[in-house]
Amino acid sequence: MAATAAVRGSAPLLSVFSASRRILTPTWPILFPFANGRKRAFGCLVPLFTSIRSLSSSSPVEDSAEVSYSPVDAVNSEELWCPPVGDPVMEAAGLLDIRVGRILKAWRHPEADSLYVEEVDVGEAEPRTICSGLVNHVPLDSLQDIKVVVLANLKPRNMRGIKSNGMLMAASDASHLNVELLIPPDDSAPGERIWFGCEEDKTKQPNAATPNQVQKKKIWEFVQPHLKTTEECMAVLGELPMRTSAGVIKSNSLKKANIS
């Protein structure tokens, strides 16, 4: 099945396909310039991966006899489903610089009761300083010397007098009362860039966008609604597992949770 949305003017139609035969909701595209000068259409903030079960029961489905291939099945069978070519959400996610990090030390922000300050190794010459609003959700002693997932190409922000250069990624339930940091596999190396899909997709990652591009084109805002955890607590983009070379990324216990 395919969903299409017309770009204003004479721009071509945007088609998005689901390999699992689930119906996708339409999106209004925006244009994002690539490094090679070409432009592709990206949808705005409307979720793309809408299950057919959430639509009318009378909605037609072609090839209904085909079996949907879930990321859990893929991991269990050691065959990871690879994304279709031209998926705008996948292309946008490829522009995010998501890395394995290791917290070297963490402490309470001296000027903000709800913030921690972390010093994080993301594989660069110097560790990054990152502020996170985890005080009400994660004990301080559990943040010492652990591996985390870092969104590294956000513009630095001044947070109550401390410049925060990145974001720790976490899963949260609908109430946002329960929050857990995403957990890379133990053997993941700080600084490794994280990707979505099968093992072969590691070599297909494009160069990450600059922080200015991520902010201006709202790349994170476009991708984030499609990040979830599964019933097995595995982090996925749509149905694509979030991966390092050592395996898939998970939350500790949150199922069907949002990721931000």
Are 222 and 45 a contacting pair, CB within 8 Å? yes
Alpha-carbon span 184 to 130, nearest angstrom = 18
pTM given for the model: 0.70
Per residue in 157-166, pLDDT (tens digit) is 999 999 999 9
Q: What is the dihedral of CA 121, 125, 126, 127, to 10 degrees?
A: -10
Instruction: Read off the pLDDT of residues 68-110 as tens digits, 9 standing for 90 and up.
Output: 334 444 444 344 456 566 789 999 999 999 999 999 999 999 9
Q: Where are the domains of the chain?
A: 2-78, 98-259
Instruction: Report helix, strand or coil for 220.
Output: helix
Q: Identify any residues that bridge with 120 across adjacent strands, giving them in sequence order.
A: 103, 128
Separation of first and last alpha carbons in the chain = 29
Query: Of the segments 33-42, 43-52, 118-127, which one has the largest average pLDDT value?
Result: 118-127
Q: Which of 24, 30, 23 is nearest to 45 (CA)?
A: 30
Residue 204 has pLDDT above 70, yes or no: yes
Q: Give the whole-number percent of the chain exceeding pLDDT 70.
A: 67
- Say which amino acid occupies 66: E
DSSP 52-118: GGGS-TT---TTTTSPP--HHHHHHTT-PPPPPTT-HHHHHHTTS-EEEEEEEEEEE-TT-TT-EEE
Question: Going by CATH, does the domain composed of 98-259 fall within 2.102.10.10?
Answer: no
